Amino acid sequence: MGVNIGKSIPDIALTALDGRTVRLSDFRGKKLLIFVWASW
Amino acid sequence: MSGAEAARPWHEAAKATFLTAVDPDNVLGRLFDYKSIPNAFFLDETGTLVGKWLGFSVDQPECLEAVDRFRAGSLEPFERAPQKPFGTTGSVSGTPVLSDLERELYEKRVRLGAELLAAGKKEQAIAEWRKALSMDPENFVLRKQIWMLLYPEKFFPEIDYDWQKEHLARERAQEAETCGPEGCLLK
């Protein structure tokens, strides 16, 4: 299960804190570090 | 409090310059198949996954070193998982392997719970999430969301991690009474 190393990530969309929709494809051409955290 | 409302104070206190987004539907959790937080995922310029670090913490120097190497272009593709995920006894071999249909049911229950919660139906939301959790008891993302609804005083204004460990032990003991090798009884 889950995306494996060496595989490309689907172009998912999430909502930023300011309400904007951001897509992973917005970051193509740049390195991207996704850090997943929670307040708890 | 959840979503952007919960994340904003942390983002602002950290004077963060990075983009913060919220994931109420657990899109990333399903994509990367994680069951606890925090985690880090490294994508190269083409959108290819080159690093997966479950249990990534900015408090650990080796995590920050990996970020430095990533920036410098000297990070080899890698995958890391915690040796002992939060609250487990050292092995996750007890994690049930769900069939595609069960996985679908699980996801639907999680989403239904989120929708019920958004509609103000907290008790029903918790009931759905409990059913989902019984299918995947190692899912701490879901478990803690339930706790936050039931015991907000343990999360605000301070997060009581000692309580979390104790409560997890209590819940596991209860679940052991209703779960066997064939799965768990749905209440």
Reading chain B (187 residues) residue by residue, the pLDDT tens digits are 667 877 888 888 888 889 999 998 889 988 998 988 999 999 999 999 999 999 999 889 999 999 999 999 999 999 998 765 444 443 344 456 788 899 899 989 999 999 999 899 999 999 999 999 999 898 898 999 999 999 999 988 888 999 999 999 999 998 888 766 566 666 5
Per-residue confidence (pLDDT) for residue B25, from 0 to 100: 82
Query: Which parts of chain A sit beneath pLDDT 70?
Result: 1
| 8 Å CB contact of B23 and A33 | no
DSSP letter, residue A5? T
The full 3-state SS of B35-53, as one line of letters, equals CCCCEEEEECCCCEEEEEE
Residue B166: the pLDDT is: 95
Report d(CA B2, CA A15) in Å as an integer: 13
Residue in A closest to B70 by C-alpha:
A31
Those residues whose C-beta lies under 8 Å from the C-beta of residue B90, and which sit 6 or more positions away, are B83, B84
Cα–Cα distance, B98 to B156 (Å, whole number): 34
| Amino acid B93: pLDDT | 43
Mutation pick from B28, B43, B50 vs chain A, by most beta carbons of A within 10 Å, is B43
pLDDT at B88: 44
Task: Please state the pTM of the whole predicted model.
Answer: 0.75
Distance CA B74, CA B69 (A): 5
Residues on chain A bordering chain B, Cβ-to-Cβ distance under 8 angstroms: 1-12, 14-17, 19, 22, 24-25, 27-40
